[in-house]
Amino acid sequence: MSTQVTATGRRKEAISCVRLQTGTGKIKVNGKPIETYFTTEAIRGYINQPLVVTSSISSVDIDATLKGGGLSGQAGALRFSIARALIKKDPSLRPVLKNSGMLTCDARVKERKKPGQPGARRRFQFSKR
């Protein structure tokens, strides 16, 4: 019987819930294969980083549910939740993932628009006369 581990990750407005279990390396995102959900190779490589660093890319199956945000935020949330799930499954992987910076939540979010100006930082053009 394979052990199943769950973990969550967040990035910007995106939330990722991951179920990780021993298997052959299949990754499904919202019921689709990862190749159809994330079409660019760069984003897929970014998501696979925790699996590559811990050399467990062909030994676990991942079933992920993503909500909110855009593709970039969802990719960051998925990467973070995969790293957390790997640690729950095998705590000895923590130093490897910690040193490669995959356990640090990227807390940067979009800044709110301020009143009396067109954007968060942008100001209306100053007129002396």
In a domain, 115, yes or no: no
What secondary structure letter does DSSP report for 22? E
Condensed to tens digits (0 to 9), the pLDDT of residues 6-59 reads 999 999 999 999 999 999 999 999 999 999 999 999 999 999 999 999 999 899
- Name every residue whose Cβ is closer than 8 Å to that of residue 22 and which is 6 or more positions away in sequence: 2, 3, 59, 60, 61
Helix (H) or strand (E) segment spanning residue 64: strand 60-67
Q: Is residue 120 part of a domain?
A: no
Helices (H), the chain: 34-37, 41-53, 71-89, 94-99
pLDDT for 1: 47
Q: What is the pLDDT of residues 66-124, one digit of tens each?
A: 999 999 999 999 999 999 999 999 999 999 999 999 999 888 999 999 999 999 999 99
CB 22 within 8 A of CB 61: yes
In a domain? residue 118: no
Q: Where in the sequence is the domain holding 22, given as residue range(s)?
A: 4-97
Predicted confidence (pLDDT) per residue in 44-72, tens digit = 999 999 999 999 989 999 999 999 999 99
- Does the residue 124 lie in any domain? no
Other beta carbons within 10 Å of 126? 5
